[in-house]
Structure 1
Amino acid sequence: MASLCRRPGLFSAITVLLVSALIVTFGVVDIRLESGTHIGLGLPAQVPLLFAAIFTALFGFLVLKVSWIDLERGICSAVQVSIQAILILVLVGCLVGSWIHSGVVATMIYYGLDIMNPHYFYCAALLICIVVSIATGCCWTTSSTVGVALIGISAGLGLPLPVSAGFIISGAYFGDKMSPLSDTTNLAPAVSGSELFDHIRAMMWTTLPTLLIVVVISLLMGSAVREMDNSRVELIQGMMRAEFRISAWGIVPPAVILVMALLKIPAIPGIVGGLCAGLLLSLFQGASLHEALKVFFYGYEPSQLSAFAAAATPEAVNAAAAGAGTLFASVPDPAEFAKVGGLLTRLFTRGGMTSMLETICLIVVALSLGGIMEACGFLDVILEALMRRVRSVFGLIASVIASSFVANVFLSEQYLAIIVPGRMFRRAFDERSWDGRRLAPSMLSRSLEDSGTMTSVLVPWNTCGVYVSAVLGVPTLAYAPYCFLNWLNPIIALVMTWLGIAVVWRHGDQPHAAPGALPADP
């Protein structure tokens, strides 16, 4: 942290955080009461975050006498952390545009509709994303590839997209948290002083029980789904055949990314490999080089699906179908025809570098706010105050989990939500003892991931939240209640610690009291 002329007091630090939270909340929410009262401004998150950053910077400059050079250095340092994420965002925009243009996404949706039962869709989506994210070690890659396809299948089956997105994200984050290939899985033990596989073994105690609960929830919610309308599925498949070339070749680009991940090739080269495979598939199918490359920047805009969406009469339906060279078994209802056409148009109108500009802007503004708070020392003061009041194992673990969540909200980056609390609490884990025993470093690394990794995607302005929302096309606050794994995991971790279950102690430390005695908050 940069040198300060005046260290903030605890009251000042809490006040700045609360005012910043109020600015962001009032700017983002848009609530209209029956009385006619309007609460909030309903602005894009970038605007209130900018004013929260301005307020925080003014407080640091005028009250704490932090120089503008130090504030600017804090901003630049925070934004620098996200450079890799921004590069991935740009490449994913190109990847999505290329895969839609070459028919990769449509192929996965088409065949997925053939084999997927709506009663088991939520569970299948959860398990598929777990397998892919464990293999790739990256929830972002999982969300932007199979996640997009699963969202399309969900739309085709008539399932609510926020619910489907919640199970997709739950599966993607399980693998991202547990895979030894994941960056956060390696970062957390590095910060806490733990060993990688000690860290993974410790996480199993809290994450596997949570996963079992989520699997049960997915099966229960799936059992309540109504029967699938086969005529609607056939209509969707017919429309996709009119717009894209559906063939087994569409499986090749995802296979390229999966193989590169198994070979432990880093995320950026892996995405480039999948992107190039999509480009070659487009050229193989007869697209011009100009057309295949243009979607890298502008994304894909359906032509035939747009004509379907505009068809409002039986004559228009027949004309649109004939123009596409697609024959339907019967003339569909015009309203249903236009509705499905509109749904598919929205689903496939995406991708390209330009689609990620809003997300990148949000990341930069949010991290600027986090960098200013780091430069002024607000979070350090609050964390130190917490440590002075911790008197039990439960209190220590709860402090780590709460601090990681707060860091996700105010620093807007899951890496910082692991690094900052990890750096602050490591000394406590090294020095504090209970009945002559000290907690193992894997308890710190586990808690950092239970909260820092898992809750990042639940914050609308966090880099993870804005990325997943942009890729899946579902607002963060809409899917957040259904990310059962993400918000249940820290709760399960707290409950298990309270009960004294799966508390890991350092090897060689001997208890003064009876074995198994564990202080807990009353």
Structure 2
Amino acid sequence: MIITILLAGLLLILAAGIRCGFALDDLIRMAVNGIKKAVNILIVLAIVGIMTAMWRADGTIAYIVSSAAGLFKPSILIVTIFLMNCLVSFMTGTSFGTAATMGVISMTIAGTAGVNPVISGGAVISGCFFGDRCSPLSSSAILVASVTETNLFDNIRNMLRTAAVPFVLTCLIYGAIGLGGANQVDATSVSDVFAKEFQLNRWMILPAIIVLGLSMLRVDVKQSMTLSIVCAVILCVVFQHRSAAEIIRIMLTGYRAGDPVAAQMINGGGLLSMKKVLMIVCMTSTYSGIFSGTGMLDGITEYVKTISQKTGRFLCIVLLSVVTSMVGYNQTIAIMMTEQLGCVLYKEQENSQRAVDLEDSAVLISALIPWSIAGAVPAATIGAPVYCLAAACYLYLIPICRLVRKKNIFPGCNN
């Protein structure tokens, strides 16, 4: 549906460009130039799809989930749910993947303990978007770095700074809620389910360690993920006894567990799983190329400047993110539209500020819109009501804390 809408929008933009006096050939050239600027993110997204499939197939995710499940204790259940989903999302870089693994486990355990699904669902969603925002594997973090022409690891360092207070506040809120008490839970069944599907041992954590370790050493994300995939392939052969043909199939179409219970928790990944987001990035990149080449958005950007003068820059970006998230109902579209319309508010040397402003607004706000797939899909995946987004306090505490700060985050930059 969204691809059809984007294609229709592209045709309308082309028609508008022709009416403005631009030749169709020139408009197509502008669109292609927009896609060329997104080649790096397209490559990274494809690698992410393959890697997440291999992490499923070699037992990495199963090992992480099995190990973490035993950490859930009644008195700190809600905050533990948040922290465990933060951990998995940071390691995998995907909110959808985290929701389908640790999120499902968390909701199962929370349900057994009698926790309100709105509260537990909000904690899961908050944790899912912790890594979706600041993991070196996150497609949104990579996308923001690409469109703002900034260094991914510098952005992550800045994001951790702006997230520090909201993170602590979120832990305190969920910790206080958890003091109400919960029933004792038995998480051993989680390990039993995965034991039927995988041969699990400590080696399974190695692909995740490779990515995180090399990321801290600032190795190019494409190289670190490729090495992680190679390691996962070796683990698949040595421990899970998978054939070359099966591994290739998993890379393309994703992992499919034989056990139906395990399948609900761990199925997914693969190059084809990224086809929709790849198409969305391509389509929105054509928009960006045409808008940049024709100046179609000049009128809107002038209006954005006017609003910024009245509200302040970051509040203007937040408001712009709300609109783009409501209209686009997709995180990628919200990021690219907000960047395209809001970039006029920043000087060339302020790209780092621009990047963190996008991360603190469009990346998170898109998940708070009930009809946006950014938040609705994870909520549906974990079986929580969509209004659990109201309990995902981490998502809105970041922009709120930014807005109440009196001092700039970066000296010399106006928020």
TM-score tier after normalising by the smaller chain length: 0.7 to 0.9
Q: Counterparts of 2:247 and 2:285 in 1: how far apart (Å)? A: 34
Which residues in structure 2 correspond to 1:4-83 (within 5 Å)? 44-62=1-19, 64-83=20-39
Match of 1:425 in 2: 345
**Kept in 2: contact 1:127–1:171 (CA 8 A):** no
In the other structure, the counterpart of 1:245 is 199
Q: Deviation string for 1:399-450 (max 9, x for gaps)?
A: 344345556666826367446523x1236x99xxxxxxxxx99876654543
* Distance apart, 1:280 and its partner CA: 0.6
Q: Is the CA contact 2:55–2:232 (under 8 Å) kept in the aligned structure 1?
A: yes
Asked if residue 355 in structure 1 is aligned to residue 310 in structure 2, the reply is no
Contact kept in structure 2, 1:60 and 1:376, CA below 8 Å: yes
How many equivalent residue pairs? 394
Task: Please point out which of 67, 77, 89 is paired with 1:111.
Answer: 67
Unaligned runs of 5+ in 1: 1-43, 307-340, 431-439, 508-522
Q: Deviations over 1:359-403 (max 9, x none)?
A: 3223333443444444443433212134346555x4444334434
CA contact (8 A) 1:451 1:490 kept: yes
Which residue number in structure 1 is paired with residue 395 of structure 2? Answer: 486
Q: 1:476 to 1:449 in 2, by over 3 A?
A: farther
Structure 1 residues 290 and 395: alpha-carbon distance in aligned structure 2, compared to 1, 3 A threshold: closer
The alignment partner of 1:73 has SS state of helix
**Aligned pair partner of 2:109 in 139, 157, 161:** 157
Question: Does the 8 Å CA contact 1:119/1:222 hold for their aligned counterparts?
Answer: yes
Please point out which of 408, 412, 437 is paired with 2:333: 412
Instruction: Give the structure-1-normalised TM-score.
Output: 0.61
Indicate yes or no: 2:354 matched with 1:402: no
Aligned residue for 2:297, secondary structure, equals helix
Equivalent in the alignment of 1:88: 44
Conserved in 1, the CA contact under 8 Å of 2:133 and 2:359?
Answer: no
Residue 291 (str. 1) matches residue 201 (str. 2): no
**Aligned residue number for residue 20 of structure 1:** none
Secondary structure of the 1:485 match is helix
CA contact (8 A) 2:78 2:175 kept: yes
CA contact (8 A) 1:129 1:142 kept: no
Cα gap change, 1:384/1:244 in structure 2, threshold over 3 Å: closer, same or farther? same
| Partner residue, 1:169 | 128
Q: Percent identity?
A: 17
Give me the whole-angstrom Cα distance separating, in 2, the residues matched to 1:85 and 1:358: 14
Q: Distance in 2 between matches of 1:299 and 1:111?
A: 23
Letter in 1 for 2:105: I
- Within a 5 Å distance, the mapping from 1:319-338 to structure 2 comes to none
Shift of 1:300: 1.8
Q: 1:380 to 1:218 in 2, by over 3 A?
A: farther
> Structure 2 unaligned runs (5+)?
112-116
User: For residues 91 and 77 of structure 1, do their structure 2 counterparts lie closer, same or farther at Cα, with a shift above 3 Å needed?
Assistant: same
Amino acid at match of 1:66: F
1:101-140 to 2 correspondences below 5 Å? 101-117=57-73, 120-124=76-80, 126-127=82-83
Change (3 A) 1:419 1:158: same
SS in 2 for 1:412: helix
1:261 aligns with 2:182: no
Greater Cα radius of gyration, structure 1 or 2: 1
Show CA shifts across 1:165-196 (max 9, x none).
Answer: 4122342256459xxxx7689789978xxxx7
**Cα RMSD after superposing both structures:** 4.5
Structure-to-structure mapping, 1:131-280, within 5 angstroms: 141=93, 143=95, 149-158=101-110, 160=117, 162-172=121-131, 175=134, 200=158, 204=161, 207-223=163-179, 226-230=182-186, 233-280=187-234
Higher helix share: 2
TM-score by length of 2: 0.75
Cα distance in 2 for residues equivalent to 1:215 and 1:154: 16
Cα distance in 2 for partners of 1:80, 1:474 equals 36
Shift of the 68–79 alpha-carbon distance from structure 1 to 2, 3 Å rule, reads: same
Aligned to 1:243, what secondary structure does the other structure show? Answer: coil
Cα distance 1:469–1:373, how it changes in 2: closer, same or farther (>3 A)? Answer: farther
